[in-house]
Amino acid sequence: MRLDKYLKITRILKRRTQAKEFCDEGKIYIDGRIAKASSNVKVGQVITLDLQRRKVVFEVLGVPERNVRKSEANTLYKIIEVKEKELDDEA
């Protein structure tokens, strides 16, 4: 399954276009390498989202064949680390 679709179906990100934008900006990594939106997601991979205010690292536990219920979405990944970033004061 494509990375952008996986992030949307698992509700990690709200929109597939948002996932594509983050990939284009180099903010999403799979196993430590910058990922494209079209990258295939496989069980066992570690995905890192390097967002503006936080860095989220999670492991893929399952890849659905189609859309899943909201209650099932969080069973498809395991959060390994959430690190809040310090914002530099621009004064």
Residue 1 confidence (pLDDT): 92
Give backbone dihedrals phi and psi of 81, rounded to 5 degrees, phi first.
-155, 140
How many Cβ atoms from other residues are within 10 Å of residue 70's Cβ? Answer: 7
**What are the pLDDT tens digits along the chain (91 aa)?**
999 999 999 999 999 999 999 999 999 999 999 999 999 999 999 999 998 889 999 999 999 988 889 889 989 999 999 998 776 655 4
Q: Is residue 53 a contact partner of residue 63, using CB atoms and an 8 Å limit? A: no
Residue 3 confidence (pLDDT): 94
- Contact residues for 18 (Cβ-Cβ < 8 A; gap 6+): none
Sign of CA dihedral 73, 86, 18, 80: negative
Domains in the chain, please, with CATH? Answer: 3-84 (3.10.290.10)
Residue 85 confidence (pLDDT): 79
